Structure 1
Amino acid sequence: MAGIAAVAAGAGLLGGEVVQPRRIGTADIARLNAVLELYRSVDRETGGGLLYREVARFADSVYRMLDWSQSAGLTPPLVAAVATARQLAGWTALDAGRHGDAQRHFVAGERAALTADNALLVAMIRYAQAKQLQHLRHNRDALATLQLTCAQLGSQATSATKALLWGAEAASIAALGDHQTALKTLGKASDQFERINKEREPASMGFYDRGELFAQYGRVYRDMARRDRRHASEAVRWGRDSIAAFGAGHVRSTVLNEVGLCSALFLADEPEQALAVGARVLKQAKAMSSRRVIDRVVNLRRDLVRHREIPEVASFERVLSAQAVMTA
């Protein structure tokens, strides 16, 4: 963290007072994007709790760069970089449980992306907003946001963007109870995933991999299993497949899907395996600074109900309830 801040400050991109305005060059934008990627990598590995104040300060600082002078050709990439900074500030705030701050940054980022006429970046920011709405269980609003984004993208949508947005749509559709449509939407996402050509995708889609797609399958099948236990084994399979597919740098995503696997195992009437995964998840969650991870861990209580009579499960539930009180 200190190293990244030092790099940003050395590049004139961060500080209590922004450096004297000057003319912006190509190197400035390159440094800005490089610092953003450093922050992004830390976020994936440790969570947003350690980052959100620092990234918010960084985003607010670089926002002022819009008032600096630059050639007409550099204005769009500068505005896009500033929008990306606000998006990352919103994302880390969301992960830290600072939902008001997250929304403020998302709105500012969307405004900048629209100014830059960067439709794909607008889509990524709205995707982040939808993920926040899903976390808060506002799935109708999340679905409306995702569907509007797809419609407005039209022919500008890349295969990865379509797969990402449709996968997220499927999760909200399933949460709303329309499982048949959710599975059809997942199928569309999978078809687009197989068409991805990395060379034609924006850098912002670099994080999207097969693990992210499989994670949405896991979410949909968990929702289905809550209404029909016959789907629980599929939920378990997709949970394990998503964990196996994530790269080493996707630590938080791996932990989130370990939580999902724990839920799926309880739903599949495999409480011993669920407890083994749950113990691992509790340890992993303590090592991360992610309120979003903690919220998901606490929510495990809804899927262990059938096994409360088992003493070890009852003990696990008490631990989760204590965690809920601590984070309230």
Structure 2
Amino acid sequence: MGSRIGANIRRERGRRGWSQGRLAREICRGAGVMGEPVGRQEVSRWEQGKRTPRQWLPFIATALGVSVDVLQEPQRLDQPPLPTLSDFLPDGDPLAPLSAREGRRVGLGQVGDLQKRVHGLRLADDVLAGGDLVRPALRELRAAVRMYREGTHSGEVGRALLGQIGELAQIAGWIASDAGQHGDAERIYRLGISAAMQEDDRTLAGNLAGSLAYQLSNTGGEVEGVRLARAALDGVGPDAPPKARALYLDRVAWAHTKAGETQPAMRALGEAGEALAEDSAETESPAYLYWVDAGELKVMESRVYTEIHRPLRAVPLLRDVLSRYDTTHTRELALYLSWLAVALADANEPEEAAATAQRVIMLSGAVTSDRTAERVRVVRERLKGYGDVPEVRAVLDSAA
């Protein structure tokens, strides 16, 4: 019974786009009780079937706008519920405040300082690689979580801290992933999703979930990557800023591409372009989406075409992007050139592929990035089929 009710609660909560914390607050409000006798952890226990709500069931139903019967109905085994972002949260509650400890008072000034450091770390990632930034990024994240858990603060400050922890987790997770620390990156992303959902910031939660989906798709978790990328897009809802929807649709496209699902990938690319076209000076987007523009969508489009071996589409797109790319962004330049090298090889242009590959190898040697190292390996493997071409042989020999 408990697992059945829990699955139904999770399904209805997902339809509303609520976090577990939001549902807990709505239940308490509907029951007319003071304080928070029901919290996020209790909702989590119900949804996992560890506890049965019993006396809280009518208030849960009222909060969700359904009848008690709906929450008690059997699950149809042939139609499992779609995953929601709550399914990807970490076990337990790593952000639970340590209420028994009286820490120093935290105000909006400290939150503002943290916000500046987070943005500085994000800008540094544009020009430095994960191996250079992972230590300071993890130090900042640990300090921010400690500030939230051990400090005393108002509800407003607490919510602002959760937002900054979520943003910091996104960039720290990205940096850890670039450094090849995929296990750490996944834990960091899930921590950030938890913070964003406690703050009820669906756009930020979607950004974190999409980043994790991207890592999963690139590290052998293609099926889970599709599920999470889709959950991130569904969780953010139709009212998200156009830039956010465009980015999350791009990640859906990449997840389907890595899973070998070409048609869904192409549909998502088209929808991403349509979403970005809705962006204007009047629409407000979070500051962390500053880099999402038509050029970035073109990069993803060219990568998808490369992965599905359509070089006549990929090569012109990549050349156009690279002709205008900021050469101070060494890691990204190496990554984009790596896809161009593969696309040129697919187009039966081994000499040009070899020259491009040589640039990839040289640029990769200048950055401590696991992503570029992996792409060098991919490019070398692709060029081996042209080992009898002198230009290619020279590149392979020098790389060895």
Does residue 220 (structure 1) correspond to residue 304 (structure 2)? The answer is yes
Shift of 1:311: 3.0
Shift of 1:161: 1.4
Q: Is this contact kept in 2: 1:209–1:246, CA < 8 A?
A: no
Corresponding residue for residue 333 of structure 2: 254
Which of 194, 198, 203 in structure 2 is aligned with 1:120? 203
| Structure 1 moving runs of 4+ over 6 Å | none
Give the letter for the 2:164 counterpart: A
Which of 233, 245, 263 in structure 1 is aligned with 2:342? 263
- Summarize deviations over 1:145-165 as a string: whole Å, max 9, x none: 111111122234221111111
Corresponding residue for residue 120 of structure 2: 38
Give the letter for the 1:165 counterpart: Y
State TM-score, norm by structure 1. 0.84
- Summarize deviations over 1:109-156 as a string: whole Å, max 9, x none: 111111111111111111110121122132221111111111122234
Corresponding residue for residue 76 of structure 1: 159
Q: Is this contact kept in 2: 1:167–1:186, CA < 8 A?
A: yes
- Summarize deviations over 1:73-122 as a string: whole Å, max 9, x none: 22211111012222222111100001111112112111111111111111
Shift of 1:56: 0.5
Shift of 1:245: 4.9
Corresponding residue for residue 210 of structure 1: 294
Distance in 2, matches of 1:122 and 1:68, equals 24
Q: Is this contact kept in 2: 1:212–1:246, CA < 8 A?
A: no
State TM-score, norm by structure 2. 0.70
Give the letter for the 1:258 counterpart: L
Which of 134, 140, 143 in structure 2 is aligned with 1:61? 143
Distance in 2, matches of 1:318 and 1:140, equals 37
The alignment of Structure 1 onto Structure 2 pairs a total of residues equal to 297
Give the letter for the 1:283 counterpart: M
Which of 300, 310, 323 in structure 1 is aligned with 2:389? 310
Identity rate, percent:
29
Give the letter for the 2:186 counterpart: Q
> Structure 2: any 5+ residue segments left out of the alignment?
1-101
Question: Match of 1:304, SS?
Answer: helix
Which of 143, 160, 172 in structure 1 is aligned with 2:226? 143
Give the letter for the 1:161 counterpart: A
The 1:211/1:288 distance shift into structure 2, 3 A limit, reads farther
Distance in 2, matches of 1:134 and 1:246, equals 26
Distance in 1, matches of 2:120 and 2:241, equals 25
Give the letter for the 2:105 counterpart: R
Q: Is this contact kept in 2: 1:119–1:156, CA < 8 A?
A: no
Which of 166, 169, 180 in structure 2 is aligned with 1:97? 180
Does residue 288 (structure 1) correspond to residue 371 (structure 2)? The answer is no
- Summarize deviations over 1:7-27 as a string: whole Å, max 9, x none: xxxxxxxxxxxxx94322222
Distance in 2, matches of 1:36 and 1:86, equals 9
Taking the TM superposition and a 5 Å limit, the aligned residue runs for 1:127-206 are 127-197=210-280, 199-206=283-290
Distance in 1, matches of 2:328 and 2:252, equals 25
Which of 348, 353, 363 in structure 2 is aligned with 1:274? 353
Q: Is this contact kept in 1: 2:351–2:389, CA < 8 A?
A: no
Does residue 232 (structure 1) correspond to residue 311 (structure 2)? The answer is yes
Q: Is this contact kept in 1: 2:245–2:275, CA < 8 A?
A: yes
With a CA cutoff of 8 Å and minimum separation of 6, indicate the structure with the bigger relative contact order.
1
> Structure 1: any 5+ residue segments left out of the alignment?
1-19, 226-230, 323-328
Q: Is this contact kept in 1: 2:305–2:314, CA < 8 A?
A: yes
Structure with higher Rg: it is: 2
Corresponding residue for residue 85 of structure 1: 168
The 1:21/1:254 distance shift into structure 2, 3 A limit, reads farther
- Summarize deviations over 1:252-283 as a string: whole Å, max 9, x none: 32321111111111111111111111111111
Distance in 1, matches of 2:215 and 2:205, equals 15
The 1:279/1:301 distance shift into structure 2, 3 A limit, reads closer
Distance in 1, matches of 2:324 and 2:105, equals 44
Q: Is this contact kept in 1: 2:196–2:202, CA < 8 A?
A: yes
Give the letter for the 2:296 counterpart: E
